[in-house]
Amino acid sequence: MVSFVLKRLLQAVPTLLLVITLSFFLMRLAPGGPFDSEIQAPPEIEANLKAAYHLDRPLLTQYVLYLGNLARGDLGPSFKYRDRSVNDLIATGFPVSLRLGAWAMAVALLAGVPLGIWAALRHNRATDHAVMGVALAGIAVPNFVVAPVLALVFGVTLAWLPAGGWGDGHWRYMLLPVLALAFPQVAYIARLMRASMIEALASPHIRTARAKGLAPAEVVLRHALRPALLPLVSYLGPAMVGIVTGSVVIEQIFGLPGIGRYFVQAALSRDYTLVLGVVIFYGVLIVLFNLLVDLLYGWLNPRIRYEG
């Protein structure tokens, strides 16, 4: 197991290096620069700024310097947020995004898994069609449409919940963003769980369990649920990273101080180091979550053995 984990981590290094390289040079190819603004600074001030951030050096030299700092865990200073490093901004914003994404995924699992199982047990009946119709609507309507509607209805019109802000993470401020972020995931999980549960219920060992006279609930929960969860586990790795990164729009709409909001503002202002830092951070998250999924596979399916 340990050798498998180490091997996977080492295999991820070239992938992350490729992501870093492409992101570094593509950011430099974009028009504009971090010090462009409506008010043009005097040439000597702009030259001093570029020298302070090593932007006056050749592009390849900048790349080598960045890799050297990155090897020491230093993501560099932010160009937009003066006197703050990228490490500090990520450390400040990521807990907000992680908390929002974790609650959204929890809501999606608590709603999507039972709905998918319920639809599978009533395959091709009215209940099945109704659940899948709602799931299809959840996939078709993006969260940047759901979020303003929720804020308008429950935050402005009814005034039941705050329409924006963080409020130190109080549940009243988190409820609308979490629901907006979880809505599409409920649909995806319900459809995925329905399909995998239908397949699991048609397997030979389930027919044998039914022939032995086991109760329907025992057949589903004890014998069918575990293999049916395998496709869902495969989905959860990238989905968890996607739901954290997908909170970019939600954080903008509700004014939350998460890492996604920093990322959008950094991209608009050409804050090279902050954009690169967030991209690298999310790349590492994808590697770690996919590794966790592979380990969960071994727990759900004892036939899987990890070799070094």
In terms of pTM, does the model score above 0.95? no
Which of the two residues, 251 and 88, has the higher pLDDT score?
88
User: Does some domain include residue 127?
Assistant: yes
**Span 246-261, pLDDT tens digits:** 677 788 888 888 887 7
User: Does some domain include residue 18?
Assistant: no
User: Does some domain include residue 159?
Assistant: yes
Q: What's the domain count of the chain? A: 1
- What pLDDT, on the 0 to 100 scale, is given for residue 297? 66
User: Does some domain include residue 116?
Assistant: yes
Mean pLDDT in residue range 81-104: 86
From residue 73, give the alpha-carbon distance in Å to each of 65, 69, 85, 281. Answer: 13, 7, 12, 11
Mean pLDDT in residue range 203-230: 79
User: Does some domain include residue 19?
Assistant: no
- Check pLDDT > 60 for residue 224: yes
Which of the two residues, 300 and 223, has the higher pLDDT score?
223
User: Does some domain include residue 136?
Assistant: yes
Q: Can you give the residue range of the structural domain that contains 108?
A: 100-256+296-300
The whole-angstrom separation of Cα 242 and Cα 52 is: 35
- What pLDDT, on the 0 to 100 scale, is given for residue 38? 47
**Span 113-135, pLDDT tens digits:** 999 888 888 888 888 888 888 88
Q: Which of 65-74, 211-220, 264-273 reaches the highest mean pLDDT?
A: 65-74
**Span 148-166, pLDDT tens digits:** 888 888 888 888 888 888 8
CATH code, 180: 1.10.3720.10
- What single letter denotes the amino acid at residue 146? V
The whole-angstrom separation of Cα 14 and Cα 282 is: 15
227 Rama class: left (phi>0) / alpha (psi -120 to 50) / beta:
alpha
- Check pLDDT > 70 for residue 277: yes
